[in-house]
Amino acid sequence: MKRKPIFISLFMLSTLICFAQQQSLITGIVFTNDYLPAEGANIVLLSATDSAFITGTAANKNGNFQLKEIPKGLYYVQVSMLGYQKNSCKANILAGKPFMLDTIYLQPEAIGLNTIVVTAKKPAIQIEADKTTINMEATIVNTGGNAFSVLETLPGVYINSNGAVSLNGKNGTKVLIDGKPAYLQGEELVSFLKSTPATSLDKIELITNPSARYDASGNSGLINIRTKKTRIMGFNLGITSNFMQGKYEKSNHSVSFNHRKGKFNLFGMYGYYSGRNYVDLQVIREFEEENPSEQTTFNQLSYRKRNEDSHYYKGGIHYFASSKTTFELALNGYTSNQAESGSLNSNFINHIGKRDSSIKSSTINDNMRNNISGTIGLIHKIDSTGKEFSLSADYLHHAVDNDQYHNDLFLYTSQNEVMAESAGTKKGTIDLFSMRSDFTYPVNEKLLLESGIKSEYVNIDNTSDYKNREQQEWEPDYGLSSHFIYKENINALYFNSRIARYKFVLEAGLRIENTNIKGQLPGNRLQADSSFSKSYINLFPSVTLSYQAGKNHSLNLSYRRRIDRPNYQDMNPFVYIFDTYTYEQGNTTLQPQFSNNLELSYLLANNYKVAVFYNQTNDVIAKSFILSENSKRVYVMPKNLATYRSCGIRLSAGNLSPVKYMQSTASIGLTHNQYEWSLIQDANKTAQTTLMFHVGNRFLLGKGWLAELTGYYNGRMAMGQMKIASFGQLTAGIQKKLWNDRASISLYSNDLFHTNRVNMTTRIGNSTARTFEKEDHCILGISFTWKFSKGFESKEFKRKGEAFDTKRINL
């Protein structure tokens, strides 16, 4: 019954569109000489009488474009794109009559080695109704960093050192790389992003309203990181070297190449990251008791140092079998070696402020990760109108080998000392296989239909073994040891349509997903065997209605239903011992969370946007803190809370120019988050209104010199049982172009005043915990980039959709 209002609204909106007043429209499609869509080609409409500019637009990913509200008259349509010769054609528009142009083809423009090339500068930010695109070429500071440092500075994006990502103050954001999954989550995702140099990035898309083509996962939206793909026919080489110094040193280096000749395009990349980081942490827990004389405070100071070396590589080949058919074969790999050591000092203080007992602890944690994936794909252009069929298959293998050691020295007021030692190992693998097929069918210039299917299979096998040292002998700890086997199959079918009628555009889609899971926990001496299985089908509708009020004004209303399944680490019962009084483990009983999202936005001249939104998520997955009744130990594990609600307003300005030599972008938002749940029969609620703003300034100093000053601020926010204090950072940099823009050197500094600190307050049973955390964000860096290329440009192979929901992978 809940779906009735949705379908009734769809019917009413479709009826409204049919009766709207008719307007003239020019439509067309642009291809390159090898029959690939000329995405991003500039379309300009000029008067045939005096060549006066009338309007303009850009071709979409399928090469299609529209010019709206065109009065009667004779015009020239001029098409241009970097690396290609201009092309133009005539258009004789009659009053009220739509006009469809013949297919336009662009021929490549040869570029000699001694030729001076003038390139168009991309705007820093492009704002659309469903997404915001940040172009990396227009930034300076980020060129010296890595993908992780880039995400930290994007408007509305929050990512912490544990890999938790939120967008516009809302949790549950999925990360994609070139429309495909990042293959990693949590700390694995952080390591991968740090090994990816920022100079390899082309643009980042913040997608708040994804269509049915995408997987239904991602409550707050998607972050699609698009890497640079050269279109040079011939050979292209790029080298980047970057050094950073905070409290500890860090560096990342990369080399990439591309060689296209005839029907073959060979590409590859290798990236290396090496660095040291620290976490300086203070935890204060105040335990409230009915008897004031029994009140206790737990005060812990810890310092952890982490050394990491990671390698990332990818390579592949594109085979252009014909002007309409392209094959892709690609391999991606990632390895990481991480060594962490820490010391902890914990004190229990009684109600009169005197120390009752203390614990001195040390931990060692070694983690090795290995990730490799492969893909094979096919795209076939059926004809020049945009009809297209694609097929792809992907395989992923992810393995982790973790060893941890922990010891405690208990010191009591009676001068007694007690030593306790524990050790654990975790070995696990994840194997994923996915196949998908997509079909695009433009019926005419006003109606576009899309459909596709996808199947995904997951197999997980994790084993953890713990032991304690007692009387100089190591004894197995069967209470903490576990073996987790998990299998999952997700099958999906989607339909999507887009219809343009007069001043209205309606995009409506439906995604159907069938999920089948089986889990098994083989027992041991203390734990009995257990297993579970589930199977369910869910529908995920998506609707966007756009109204073009004028040449520069549009109003957009959208609705999305989304799902976020537990990531595999959250379901793994493996226990991580932070200290004697803090254990973190998974939860095999987790359920998926479902959300409903509404957004109303106004777009002015594709440069200014005002959006109001509302989100409600049921069974929201959040990190929970549970206090043991018989001890002071806190168990940290993900749980399904009852409800999460989020609403707010966001204002964005894409490209401003206060003065001639200065370019600016700005955004500001206000978000209210509220979590409700029950814990041990007690109703709980956490709520907070959060102010977030971001300002970026770019200064054109001339003679190849550029400077940048960027800052952001995130106000106090609620996240499950936690409240995170406000934080922000200011970043600055300067860059000099060298050798006719073939090289550049950048000097930059992140978090100038060391204000990017995470302080949290958490209510845990009858106690209140306060956490103060510092990391090595304040750094000074220098980066050098050099690139060599020759030839002329040609459009690259493009693959649709993502293979896996790898936001869930974290062994």
Per DSSP bridges, beta strands 221-227 and 767-775 are unpaired
pTM of the model: 0.81
Cβ atoms 29, 513 nearer than 8 A: no
Rounded Cα gap, residues 690 and 671, in angstroms: 5
Residue with tokens 């241009």: 80
Question: Of 44, 74, 106, which residue sits at a domain end?
Answer: 106
Name the strand (E) or helix (H) holding 681. Answer: none
Burial of 215 (0-12, 13-18, 19+ CB in 10 A): buried
Cβ atoms 153, 138 nearer than 8 A: no
**CATH number of the domain where residue 341 is located:** 2.40.170.20
Query: Are 146 and 84 members of one domain?
Result: no
For residue 115, being part of any structural domain is answered with no
> Six-digit token pair at 376?
């094979």
For residue 8, being part of any structural domain is answered with no
Query: Are 448 and 487 members of one domain?
Result: yes
Rounded Cα gap, residues 77 and 85, in angstroms: 14
| Enclosing domain of residue 156 | 125-808
Q: Identify the CA nearest to 560 among candidates 611, 602, 514, 613.
A: 613
Instruction: Give the contacts of 670 (CB within 8 A, at least 6 positions apart).
Output: 648, 649, 650, 689, 690, 691, 692
Q: Identify the CA nearest to 409 among candidates 286, 578, 281, 579.
A: 579
Query: Are 65 and 203 members of one domain?
Result: no
HEC string of 525-577 equals CCCCCEEEEEEEEEEEEEEEEEEEEECCEEEEEEEEEEEECCCHHHHCCCEEE
> Six-digit token pair at 681?
């029969």
CA dist 381 → 66, 449, 497, 583, 608 (Å): 21, 15, 19, 55, 36
Question: Of 106, 133, 167, which residue sits at a domain end?
Answer: 106
- Residue 491's pLDDT is 97
Dihedral sign, Cα of residue 161, residue 163, residue 164, residue 166 = positive
Query: Are 326 and 383 members of one domain?
Result: yes
Q: Identify the CA nearest to 623 among candidates 760, 506, 735, 525.
A: 760
- Residue 553's pLDDT is 92
- Residue 735's pLDDT is 92
Query: Are 89 and 156 members of one domain?
Result: no
Q: Identify the CA nearest to 617 among candidates 634, 641, 587.
A: 641
| DSSP designation for 60 | -
Query: Are 497 and 559 members of one domain?
Result: yes
Query: Are 200 and 291 members of one domain?
Result: yes
For residue 6, being part of any structural domain is answered with no
Assign residue 243 a region (left: φ > 0; alpha: ψ between -120 and 50; beta: otherwise).
Answer: beta
Rounded Cα gap, residues 724 and 761, in angstroms: 7
Residue 90 CB coordination number (10 Å) = 10
Query: Are 75 and 138 members of one domain?
Result: no
E strand map for 33-85: 42-47, 53-58, 64-68, 73-80
Q: Identify the CA nearest to 400 among candidates 576, 160, 652, 582.
A: 576
Per DSSP bridges, beta strands 232-245 and 792-793 are antiparallel
Q: Point out the residues of the chain with pLDDT beneath 50.
A: 1-22, 110-120, 793-799, 806-807
> Six-digit token pair at 93?
């528009």
> Six-digit token pair at 712?
């952001």
pLDDT tens-digit map of 132-163: 888 887 676 666 567 887 888 888 888 876 67
Question: Of 76, 106, 136, which residue sits at a domain end?
Answer: 106
For residue 12, being part of any structural domain is answered with no
**Phi and psi (nearest 5°) for 409?**
-120, 110
Rounded Cα gap, residues 2 and 667, in angstroms: 35
- Residue 802's pLDDT is 53
Count of structural domains within the chain: 2
**CATH number of the domain where residue 46 is located:** 2.60.40.10
CA dist 358 → 288, 363, 412, 572, 716 (Å): 19, 17, 7, 32, 33
Instruction: Give the contacts of 609 (CB within 8 A, at least 6 positions apart).
Output: 127, 129, 132, 601, 602, 603, 650, 651, 652, 654
**Phi and psi (nearest 5°) for 214?**
-85, 155
Identity at 447, one-letter amino acid code: L
For residue 87, being part of any structural domain is answered with yes
Residue 602: strand pairing partners: 555, 610
| DSSP designation for 240 | E
- Residue 120's pLDDT is 43
Query: Are 230 and 99 members of one domain?
Result: no
For residue 679, being part of any structural domain is answered with yes
Cβ atoms 493, 511 nearer than 8 A: yes
Query: Are 223 and 154 members of one domain?
Result: yes
Query: Are 86 and 142 members of one domain?
Result: no
Cβ atoms 233, 108 nearer than 8 A: yes
Query: Are 504 and 644 members of one domain?
Result: yes
Per DSSP bridges, beta strands 634-640 and 582-585 are parallel
Rg, Å, the chain Cα set: 28
Per DSSP bridges, beta strands 553-564 and 530-550 are antiparallel
- Residue 113's pLDDT is 36
Identity at 337, one-letter amino acid code: N
For residue 664, being part of any structural domain is answered with yes
> Six-digit token pair at 599?
């957004």
HEC string of 151-186 equals HHCCCCEEECCCCCEEECCEECEEEEECCEECCCCC
For residue 113, being part of any structural domain is answered with no
Burial of 593 (0-12, 13-18, 19+ CB in 10 A): buried
